[in-house]
Every structure is written in structure tokens, then in C-alpha cells.
Amino acid sequence: MNGAHASIRDVLYDAPGPKAKRRIAFVTVISLLALAALLAAIVRRFYVTGQLDPKYWSIFLRYTTWRFIGRGLLGTLQVAAASSVLAFAAGMLLMMARVCRYRVLNAIATFIIELSRGIPTLLFIYFFFLLAPQFGLQLPSFWRITLPVSISAMGVTAEALRSGVNAVPRGQTEAAVSLGMRSASVFFKIVFPQGFRYVIPTLISEMVIVFKDTTYAYVVNYADLMQNAKVLISNYDALLAVYLVVAVIYIVINYLINKLAATVERRTRAAVAAAK
Amino acid sequence: MSNGKIISQEPIIELKHIDKHFGSLHVLKDINLTVHKGEVVVIIGPSGSGKSTLCRTINRLETIDSGEIVIDGSVMPKEGKKLAELRSQIGMVFQSFNLFAHKTILDNVTIAPRDVLKKSKREAEEEAMQLLKRVGVDSQAGKVPAQLSGGQQQRVAIARSLAMHPKAILFDEPTSALDPEMIGEVLDVMTELARDGMTMVIVTHEMNFARRVADRVIFMDGGSILEEAAPEEFFAAPKTQRARDFLNSLGDRESRS
Ligand SMILES: Nc1ncnc2c1ncn2[C@@H]1O[C@H](COP(=O)(O)OP(=O)(O)O)[C@@H](O)[C@H]1O
Ligand SMILES: [Mg+2]
């Protein structure tokens, strides 16, 4: 592989020769034409049904529309941030319980992790939204979305952290132990900091999942981006316009998170490679 | 004893009737060994004979099935605070260095004195710099291990051990992972330590070095100590056939390469 930028494509295929290059050019042109045709068909469809009418788009010329979208985005970001922090904290505890020396804790942590990973987020949301109130647990809507999203993400987080910790060479622990360090010190000062570095990119990628899960906020009537978009749609009937704008916002944010993950991955990979 | 060195009769490490299995493999068979203060014991033997395992049982990186390990008069317990304390009194230098990859060279040397001995940062760093100077890598103090050569890393590992003021240091093939041109610099540091009176247990295939620094040579094969003698005696006239075969095979290897 040629260095840090080798992709799976470079691994699977040889560098293209002249014949392959012609074929690639051909496929590229055909794909672009097909894509253009598809887009044209879609736009035509919207035109016919009147979705391109200026009255649906003029709302985006108004400051209040953007302020409303901005409030929704802020709500989304708050839930995403709180969920990420909670999922990390809970994931950390679960990981430690899973690797510690007490069998009971190992088993309990494994069980919780499997539940967290195996149950869809929506089910956790229904639990806090529909079931919990019957037992007298009345939560504000912020927590009705944040808790289930965190619970849904903590299992994956725990497993990511565990894979990092397991990847730290045994010799690191042995060296620390033979210097007389106790197990808590060995874990927190030697093993965890290294294992954590290995999985930073994975953890950031998981933030994308958390971020997408926040769109369930509409189920619990929490004013996130999605919820406010729905309000706009029902007020102005501007289905296409609003969804398009909101989709672009989600794409941009997830793109930024992925970009961050890629940057961090490149850096940590360089650091890990240098450490070997 | 060799080197004209006078060795005290004060035992630092005592292994009494140590037995150990890896599954069905009887890897250590009734090992009895006493290392006295200031003594340099070199363990040699064919690959797989249990040298590393013996070395690692001394500070309980490996558990034992039966027997007793006594460090400077204290029986080594199976676990807990006392075990950590006794481990801190016995240094260990590994074949693969095992420097802490995420810490600078200076931090590698100071972390245990600060964490275990509760030394202040300043005190630990001052001493660490002296130790790094002693092993000749003080100019690298701010770098991370990956930026150093193997020989430099192993010398840092020795400094890291010394920072705990150990009563003895165990070396498990400290030069086996090194390029040939770096072996000398590590052996020089070890020779110096031996001269300064450090108690050392060394597993090595460097026979010239063994001849030079050992007060006593232990020959192991198949999990047992087969011979135990002063180096001049052992190398001149090994008593067992297996030791003769082993030394011959080494001779072959050296003449071939
Ligand atoms: N963790 C382990 N599990 C199982 N067998 C082991 C383990 N470590 C070492 N052994 C076996 O024990 C024997 C002695 O190993 P070792 O002490 O490393 O020998 P030496 O250092 O003399 O080459 C070998 O047969 C080796 O395969
Ligand atoms: Mg070995």
C-alpha cells in the first residue's frame, strides 16, 4: 500500500492502464448522464405538482423562518451534545465493568451492552415516552429524547472503548506492574490513554449516529430541527423546500463530523504507526 | 568467585521449590535458586527451556503452582498491596523494551517514582535526568519512545528500572531484539551496573558478555536447572552432555554467521 492514503480501492484494483482508463471515462459519462436525467425528471415532477412555485420558497427570504430553523438546530445540537457526553460516560463505566476482575460485574455489563446495542432507539424512546409516565416518571421532553439516544449509543461506545483497551500491547501492562504500579494506576495512566487514542476516530463516527438519532425528537414533541421543519411545512405547505433545506443542514453537519473523524484518524494513525 | 568480587551472603531473591505448568506443559520443575546481594547471575539455555518463565515468576508476572518466592526476607504474596510493593523492589527489563508509548522519555522514567513512591515532580525529574545521563540518553528526554533507536530505548528502560532504586534487576534477553550494532551500547550499560554492585539476573545468549560479568552461570533445559557454576568453570568444562551440546550449537551458529 502506498502510505496513509491507500484506500480499499487501491487494495482491490491495479492502477488503471490506457484501456481501463477509457472504460472509466465511458462509465463516468454514462453515470453523469443518467444522474442528470433523473434530476431533470424529479424537477419536472415538482414543477408539474407546483412545488417549485415561488410562494413555497419565499419563506426562506424571511429572517423569522431562519430564526425558527436556527432554534430547531440549537435544540438538535443540545440533544446531540448531551447524548454524546452521557453515552461516553455510561460507555466508559460499562467498559470498565466489563473488563474488571469481578465476574458479576462483567456479566451485568455484558448484558446491558447487548441490550443497548440490540434494541432500536425508537423502542427506548417509547419506553420513556409512553411507559415511564405510567410509573410516575414524568420527564421534560429534552430528557425524553436525550436519555433514549444516550442509552442506545452507550453500548457501542463501551465496545469501541473496550476494543481500544484490548489493543494495547500486554507488555505495557507488564512494564507498569513490574514497576510496582497498582491496577487502577496501570489502567488509568498507561492502558486507557493509549487504548482511547486508537478509537477516537470510531467514537467520532458514532457521533454521527447519535446526531441522526436525535431526529426522533419529533416523537416526543421536542423542538429540534426536524420538529420545527414539520411546523414550517404545515404552516406554509412547503414540503419540498423545507425538507431540502433541512436535509442540506444535516448533510453539512454530518460531513463536518466525518471530516473531523478522518482528520483525527489520519493523525492518530500516524502517531500509532510512529509508536511501532 | 570470578572478577575477584566479594559477594555478600545476604540473599535478595530466593526461589524455593518452584513448580509451574502451562496447561499440560511442565515448564518449571522444582526450581531452587538463591541470588545474593551484589551478585550477577546469568541464565542460559536453549529456546523454550523456561528461562523467560523463570525470570517472570520472580516478580510474579507469571503465577506459580507451588513453591515460595522470597524477596529480601519477605515472602511474595499472591496479590495486593504487598505484592506491588515487592515488585517495585525488583526491576525488570524486557526483550521488547516496553517503554510507555504515549509518554515522553522523561515521563517514562518519572511515572513510577511519582505514582508509587509519591515523589514530587521536581525531585523525580531531577533524578530521572541524572539516570538518563548515566545511560547516555539525556539528550532525548523530551522525545517519545518511537523516535529513539532500539538501543536507546533499552537504555531508557534500564534507567526507568533504576529510578525505583530496586534491590535487583531482572533482564530477559535485553539485547535479542536489537540490531547488532546496538547490542554493545546496552551491554556496556549493564556491565557498568554490575561493576557498581547491582544485583542482577540476566537471561542472555551473549556468551562473551556472560563470561565477563557473571558471578554464576545457570544452565537450564526442559524446565530444570541442570548446572550452576562459576563462568570460567562452566564454559571450560560443562558437566552435562546437554550443556556441551548447547555450547557447541552456539559455537556452530557463531562460526556459520
Ligand atoms: N503464556 C504461555 N502459555 C503457554 N505456554 C507458554 C507460555 N509462555 C511460554 N510457554 C511455553 O513454555 C515454554 C518455556 O517458555 P519460555 O520460558 O519462554 O522459554 P525460554 O525463555 O527459555 O525460551 C515454551 O515451551 C513455551 O512455548
Ligand atoms: Mg525467552
Measured between CA atoms, the residue of chain A closest to residue B118 is: A181
Pick the residue with more confidence: A276 or B211?
A: B211
Would you say A189 and B111 are in contact if contact means Cβ atoms under 8 Å apart?
A: yes
A102 touching chain B per CB within 8 A: no
Pick the residue with more confidence: B21 or A243?
A: B21
Per-residue pLDDT at A11: 65
d(CA A8, CA A224): 37
Average pLDDT, chain A: 88
Question: What percent of chain B clears pLDDT 90, i.e. is strictly above it?
Answer: 91
Per-residue pLDDT at B152: 97
Instruction: Tell me whether residues A179 and B90 touch, CB distance under 8 A.
Output: no
What number of CA atoms fall less than 13 Å from residue A143's CA on the CB side?
A: 7
A194 touching chain B per CB within 8 A: yes
Per-residue pLDDT at A1: 38
Mutate to test the pocket of ligand 1, among B18, B21, B22, B170 (most ligand atoms within 8 A of CB): B22
- For residue A246, give the nearest of A55, A43, A70 by alpha carbon: A70
Nearest-neighbour CA in chain B from A10: distance (Å): 28
d(CA A174, CA B56): 10
- Tell me the backbone φ, ψ of residue B223, rounded to 5 degrees: 85, 5
Pick the residue with more confidence: A219 or B254?
A: A219
Q: Is the pLDDT of residue A276 over 90?
A: no
Task: Return the bridge partners of B229, or none.
Answer: B217
- Tell me the backbone φ, ψ of residue A211, rounded to 5 degrees: -60, -45
Confidence category of residue A55, pLDDT binned at 50, 70, 90: confident
Confidence category of residue B89, pLDDT binned at 50, 70, 90: very high
Average pLDDT, chain B: 93
- Point out the residue among A172, A179, A193 whose CB comes nearest to the CB of B112: A179
d(CA B246, CA B238): 10
Least confident of A12-21, A182-191, B116-125, B218-227: A12-21
Which of B99, B102, B170 to substitute to test the interface with A, most A CBs within 10 Å?
B102
Would you say A79 and A149 are in contact if contact means Cβ atoms under 8 Å apart?
A: yes
- Tell me the helices (H) and strands (E) count for chain B, helix number first: 9, 10
What is the tens place of the pLDDT at every residue in B92-150?
A: 999 999 999 999 999 999 999 999 999 999 999 999 999 999 999 999 999 999 999 99
d(CA A220, CA A227): 10
Strand pairing category for B224-229 and B90-93 = unpaired
Q: Is the pLDDT of residue B208 over 80?
A: yes
Domain boundaries, chain A: 8-49, 64-275
Per-residue pLDDT at B1: 46
Instruction: Tell me whether residues B87 and A177 touch, CB distance under 8 A.
Output: yes
DSSP alpha helix (H) spans, chain B: 51-58, 80-88, 105-115, 121-134, 150-162, 180-195, 207-213, 231-236, 241-256
The fold of the A64-275 domain, in CATH, is MetI-like fold (1.10.3720)
Mean pLDDT value across residues A230-238: 86
Ligand nearest to the CA of B45: 1
Which residues 78-117 of B are in CB contact (within 8 Å) with A?
A: 81, 84-85, 87-92, 94, 96, 98-102, 111-112, 115-116
Sheet containing strand B74-75, edge to edge, reads B25-36, B11-22, B66-71, B74-75
What is the tens place of the pLDDT at every residue in B223-255?
A: 999 999 999 999 999 999 999 999 998 876 554
Find the radius of gyration of the CA atoms of chain B: 18
Instruction: Tell me whether residues A180 and B85 touch, CB distance under 8 A.
Output: yes
Per-residue pLDDT at B3: 54
Per-residue pLDDT at B77: 93
A177 touching chain B per CB within 8 A: yes
A276 touching chain B per CB within 8 A: yes
What is the tens place of the pLDDT at every residue in A144-182?
A: 999 999 999 999 999 999 999 999 999 999 999 999 999
Grid coordinates of A179: 514497576
DSSP state at residue A111: H
Longest dimension (CA), chain A: 77
Q: Which residue has the cell 457501542?
A: A156
State the amino acid at position B2 in one-letter form.
Answer: S
Q: Is the pLDDT of residue B4 over 60?
A: no
A179 touching chain B per CB within 8 A: yes
Chain B residues whose CB is inside 8 A of the A174 CB are: 61, 92, 94, 98
Per-residue pLDDT at A10: 66
Sign of CA dihedral B23, B26, B30, B33: negative
Ligand nearest to the CA of B95: 2
Nearest-neighbour CA in chain A from B116: distance (Å): 6
Q: First-to-last CA distance in chain B? A: 33
Q: How many residues are present in chain A?
A: 276
Per-residue pLDDT at B255: 46
d(CA A116, CA B188): 56
